Amino acid sequence: MVDKGKSPMCGRYLLSSPTSDIIEEYELDFEISRIEKEINHRYNISPKSQIPIILDDPDVNKRNLKQMQWGVVFNEKYGLTFNVRSENLQTSPAWKNPFLHKRCLIPATGFIEWQELEGVKKTLPWNIHKPKEEVFSLAGIWNFFPDKVTGKLELCAFIITTEANSMMRTIHNKGGNKFRQPVIIDQSNYTSWLDKNHSTPDSIFPLLKQFSIEEFAYTPLEKVGDDVKGIPPIPKDGKESKVEKKPSKKKSKKEEESLF
């Protein structure tokens, strides 16, 4: 059984680190010009868009950066699937092989969740990010899958989720997959996570940890960012909690609401 893509769990994320930070974080051996063509600042990455992932590439015997589609439509009835429950990684035919042999890191600088407020119809978006907006890695798996809508065989990546910590339970409190959060792979575990020699559940599952509350900052948003216009998220009341602001492009007066 696969997760149903219409669930809002981790349905938007950001990647706005400088190219140099990406190179350093993953120890990539590429010319900067090549990576700059593939990685742009993005503030509202949505399912079924092309995203950068990091994997161990046997063709070059080192870490490599690839572009893949985030999610796929397995079944038209259920819609787009873009997340995978960690609890299903060993039991689902769709996920078992990729979990054992095709794991990846998905670079991010934040992810967006929508909070349901009591007595208020409109939900409140939150940006969950590192305190200084450093790049971090979402746990992912990848494989080729047929898209039931387009009929094409797509190279796809999926984000792994787990039970939410106490802070995330208060934020991600709506939808069919509420009380979930993405799995974050710590930098010290990058090699182990990507290593194809780790092909037994006993050697891999310990890496799927729930991130601690203190590792991240939680910023309520007035508006979610916009990829097309290059507009970063706008913090609620113009203030960011526990975040050092970085220079950003001038904000447009007419900013569209998130499509999420």
Residue keyed to tokens 């706008």: 234
List Cα–Cα distances, 256 to 44, 82, 230, 234, in angstroms. Answer: 12, 24, 12, 12
Domain regions of the chain by residue span: 12-238
Beta strands 72-75 and 62-70, pairing class: unpaired
**Stated pTM of the model:** 0.86
- Please state, in angstroms and rounded to a whole number, the distance separating the CA atoms of residues 137 and 19: 15
CATH topology of domain 12-238: hypothetical protein yedk fold (3.90.1680)
- Please state, in angstroms and rounded to a whole number, the distance separating the CA atoms of residues 103 and 89: 11
CA 140 to chain centre: 8
pLDDT in tens, the chain (260 residues): 334 333 346 789 999 998 889 999 999 986 666 777 668 899 999 999 999 999 998 777 789 899 999 999 998 888 899 999 999 999 999 999 999 999 999 999 999 999 999 888 889 999 999 999 999 999 999 999 999 988 999 999 999 999 999 999 999 988 777 889 999 999 999 999 999 888 898 889 999 988 889 999 999 999 999 988 999 999 997 654 443 333 333 333 322 222 21
